[in-house]
Amino acid sequence: MRIRKKNWTANELETNKHIVHEPTEYKSKWHEYFKNDNPIYLEIGCGKGRFISENAKLYPNINFIGLELQSTILAIAARKIPEEANNIALIRYDAKNLADIFEKGEIKRIYLNFSDPWPKKKNEKRRLTHKNFLDSYKKLFNNECEIFFKTDNKGLFEFSLNEFCKEDWKLSNISLDLHKSDFEGNIMTEYEEKFSSLDMPIYRLEARYKL
């Protein structure tokens, strides 16, 4: 997702209380940051923030962390979070370095929503469902890894199915057209709303791995 830089980006990033500027300092201490022992769910590539903000409202007993690499998009997401929300944090960080900011067992679920498909084969290692990333996610969990994945890109979905299966992840709630299925409780991202309005199928799955 590319977006023109806003002139208020720097100020938002500096002053918004939900943005964590030194996330490495909270490795193994995220429960101290949130001041509770509630489960922590991580969205990698939180985009403009609708998904994570809506989840935080609906599930006040879960802590949500949104990871985003692009500054302006992160600032847009931060603006959507109510001032009083205390179960959400945003981080500008690269998903390749998750082990630098999370200790094993700190994360209970990962969301991958409409990740960059990196369609050229030479870039497949950059896909967030590539084996290398799947292996890195395992280091964040105790007992069982849990990933919820959504995309509009059929090629990325097929690639992801293969990667999960090759690594012996257990798949469930697989949907080839989410909005025409009987799945309940879906929260749409901004991209998802756009794609669904064009009657494009949304692909979804849940993947779990026993450690």
Catalytic site includes residue 135: no
Per-residue pLDDT of the chain (211 residues; tens, 9 = 90+): 456 677 888 898 899 999 999 999 999 999 999 999 999 999 999 999 999 999 999 999 999 999 999 999 999 999 999 888 999 999 999 999 999 999 999 999 999 999 999 999 999 999 999 999 999 999 999 999 999 999 999 999 999 999 999 999 999 999 999 999 999 999 999 989 988 888 899 999 999 999 9
Q: Per the domain annotation, does 1 fall within a domain?
A: no
Q: Per the domain annotation, does 75 fall within a domain?
A: yes
Is the whole model's pTM more than 0.85, yes or no? yes
Which pLDDT tens digit goes with each residue over 49-97? 999 999 999 999 999 999 999 999 999 999 999 888 999 999 999 999 9
What is the reported pLDDT for 46? 96
CATH code of the domain in which 73 resides: 3.40.50.150
Q: Per the domain annotation, does 8 fall within a domain?
A: no
Q: Per the domain annotation, does 7 fall within a domain?
A: no
Q: Residue 29 is part of which domain span?
A: 17-210
Q: Per the domain annotation, does 134 fall within a domain?
A: yes
Return the percentage of the chain with pLDDT > 90, whole number: 89
Q: How many domains does the chain have?
A: 1
Q: What is the 3-state secondary structure (H, E, C) of the chain?
A: CCCCCCCCHHHHHHHCCCECCCHHHHCCCHHHHHCCCCCEEEEECCCCCHHHHHHHHHCCCCEEEEEECCHHHHHHHHHCCCCCCCCEEEEECCHHHHHHCCCCCCCCEEEEECCCCCCCHHHHHHCCCCHHHHHHHHCCCCCEEEEEEEECCHHHHHHHHHHHHHCCCEEEEEECCHHHCCCCCCCCCHHHHHHHHCCCCCEEEEEEEEC
Q: Which one-letter amino acid corresponds to residue 68? A: E
Q: Per the domain annotation, does 11 fall within a domain?
A: no
Q: Per the domain annotation, does 9 fall within a domain?
A: no
Q: Which of 37, 94, 116, 177 does the annotation list as catalytic?
A: 116
Q: Per the domain annotation, does 12 fall within a domain?
A: no
